[in-house]
């Protein structure tokens, strides 16, 4: 079966499960506790109904946008997700190459299984790449990572804040086997026999707090986006303390179970302050072009997709990633046309309704 049998993003999920080891699948698919938040991430988008406007010319449709000033062919990036090599031997480099050829942006995880050097040497000359930062408890190690990110010319830092500790991922715990921890700079333990997540999080500083945003701003000139904001209060706090944006995210349901979904927090924000540019992104449960368009109607600047791209690279490496982007692009285009919009700026709250 070739990629022709992959018609939508969920097809990648089914195909990836067949290809993954038990340990890899447990790590990729799992979420915290009862996985209620993971499931709600998906089901929340189904509660939004479109209000399409008819008799508008839609032959031309443009899905392109700028994300933090960088061109993207669709309003969607590859969310940072650790350990791509669990699914495919080339790992994150698949994402880098697929992002380059389709013109989207990859966010590299602190716990990527390829080194940042490998990833940056696979990029095309002016390909934007964002870096997701976990702050190591040993602050000097975190500072080394940040100076490398600066030196290698990455383009933004996403500071993940919803994971001071790892969530209780039971599938991962049950599947734990021999796991060789990644040899990244953010990480100074190797050869653990723990669930993948448990091994990874032992290096993350649980005391990281708002004051550290000042520290980070001193260490880099790159835009800083706070990833894992789950309340309006924290989005406002991030804005006040000078972050360049937030990602409304619950980490794909992998951290605190029964928290708000990114979409529900987006709905609460309603109007964002506009005195200075402050970006609002959302991730979790985006599997369809309709999901992307709904988030944009409700004020998101762009969305992220985590598991979908891990599964796509697992199934077919770079080609899988390219195929995934084409699926999203074509679904976003047809959604916009059927909705009566031919550019992203046309997407408005009045084009959706919430059903209870
Ligand atoms: C993640 N995510 C994540 N986030 C982060 O900031 N750093 C990381 O290293 C990881 N690692 C990671 C591994 C795996 C296997 C998954 C599934 C997720 C969270 C990720 O960036 C994103 O928030 C979610 O994946 C979005 O939800 P969906 O698209 O998977 O539903």
CA-nearest of 47, 60, 71, 77 to 341 is: 60
- Tell me which residues have their CB closer than 6 angstroms to ligand 1: 27-28, 41, 79-82, 109-111, 132, 160, 227, 249, 251-252, 254, 283-286, 304-308, 310
C-alpha to C-alpha distances, 63 to 104, 262, 278, 335, 337, nearest whole angstrom: 12, 22, 21, 11, 11
What is the 105 CA–ligand 1 centroid distance (Å)? 15
Phi, psi (deg, nearest 5) at residue 130? -105, 155
The closest-lying atom of ligand 1 relative to the alpha carbon of residue 251 is: 23
Q: Pick from 79, 106, 199 the residue to mutate for probing ligand 1's pocket: most ligand atoms within 8 Å of its CB.
A: 79
Q: Pick from 12, 81, 281 the residue to mutate for probing ligand 1's pocket: most ligand atoms within 8 Å of its CB.
A: 81
The closest-lying atom of ligand 1 relative to the alpha carbon of residue 27 is: 15
What is the 306 CA–ligand 1 centroid distance (Å)? 5
The answer to whether 133 and 144 are in contact (CB under 8 A) is no
The answer to whether 51 and 352 are in contact (CB under 8 A) is yes
pTM: 0.95
As a whole number of angstroms, the distance between CA 99 and CA 204 comes to 28
| pLDDT at residue 191, rounded to an integer | 45
pLDDT in tens, 315-350: 999 999 999 999 999 999 999 999 999 999 999 999
What is the 250 CA–ligand 1 centroid distance (Å)? 9
| pLDDT at residue 203, rounded to an integer | 86
Q: Nearest residue CA, atom 12 of ligand 1?
A: 81
Provide the CA 119 distance to its chain's centre, in angstroms: 17
The closest-lying atom of ligand 1 relative to the alpha carbon of residue 286 is: 29
What is the 56 CA–ligand 1 centroid distance (Å)? 38
As a whole number of angstroms, the distance between CA 261 and CA 61 comes to 29
Q: Pick from 38, 251, 285 the residue to mutate for probing ligand 1's pocket: most ligand atoms within 8 Å of its CB.
A: 251
| pLDDT at residue 355, rounded to an integer | 87
The closest-lying atom of ligand 1 relative to the alpha carbon of residue 132 is: 6
Phi, psi (deg, nearest 5) at residue 89? -60, -30
Q: Pick from 10, 40, 44, 80 the residue to mutate for probing ligand 1's pocket: most ligand atoms within 8 Å of its CB.
A: 80
| pLDDT at residue 356, rounded to an integer | 74
Give the sign of the dihedral formed by CA 249, CA 254, CA 260, CA 263: positive
As a whole number of angstroms, the distance between CA 292 and CA 72 comes to 14
What is the 159 CA–ligand 1 centroid distance (Å)? 13
Catalytic residue annotation: 134, 162, 251
The closest-lying atom of ligand 1 relative to the alpha carbon of residue 160 is: 6
pLDDT in tens, 278-312: 999 999 999 999 999 999 999 999 999 999 999 99
As a whole number of angstroms, the distance between CA 111 and CA 86 comes to 12
Q: Which residues in the chain come in under a pLDDT of 50? A: 189-192
What is the 79 CA–ligand 1 centroid distance (Å)? 6
């Amino acid at each position: 079966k070739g990629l022709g049998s992959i018609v939508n993003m969920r097809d990648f999920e089914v195909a990836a499960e067949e290809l993954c080891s038990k340990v890899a699948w447990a790590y990729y698919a799992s979420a915290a506790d009862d996985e209620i938040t993971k499931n709600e991430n998906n089901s929340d988008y189904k509660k939004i109904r479109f209000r399409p406007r008819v008799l508008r010319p839609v032959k031309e449709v443009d899905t392109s946008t700028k994300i933090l000033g960088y061109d993207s062919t669709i309003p969607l990036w590859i969310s940072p997700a650790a350990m791509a090599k669990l699914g495919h031997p080339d790992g994150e480099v698949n994402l880098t190459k697929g992002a380059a050829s389709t013109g989207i942006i990859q966010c590299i995880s602190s716990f990527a299984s390829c080194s940042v050097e490998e990833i940056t040497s696979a990029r095309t000359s002016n390909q934007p790449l964002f870096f997701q930062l976990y702050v190591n408890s040993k602050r000097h190690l975190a500072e080394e990572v940040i100076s490398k990110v600066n030196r290698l010319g990455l383009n933004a830092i996403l500071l993940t804040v919803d994971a001071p500790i790892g969530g209780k991922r039971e599938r991962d715990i049950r599947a734990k086997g021999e796991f060789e921890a990644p040899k990244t700079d953010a990480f100074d333990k190797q050869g653990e026999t723990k669930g993948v997540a448990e091994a990874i999080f032992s290096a993350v500083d649980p005391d990281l707090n708002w004051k550290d945003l000042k520290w980070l701003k001193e260490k880099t000139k790159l835009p800083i986006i706070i990833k894992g904001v789950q309340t309006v209060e924290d989005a406002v706090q991030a804005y006040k303390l000078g972050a360049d944006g937030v990602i409304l995210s619950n980490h794909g349901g992998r951290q605190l179970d029964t928290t708000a979904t990114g979409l529900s927090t987006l709905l609460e924000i309603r109007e964002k302050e506009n005195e200075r540019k402050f970006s609002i992104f959302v991730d979790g449960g985006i599997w369809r072009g309709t999901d992307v368009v709904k988030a944009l109607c409700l004020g998101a600047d762009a969305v992220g997709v985590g598991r979908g791209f891990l599964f796509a690279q697992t199934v077919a490496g770079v080609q899988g990633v390219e195929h995934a982007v084409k699926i999203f692009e074509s679904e976003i285009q047809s959604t916009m046309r059927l909705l009566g919009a031919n550019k992203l700026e046309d997407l408005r709250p009045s084009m959706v309704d919430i059903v209870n």
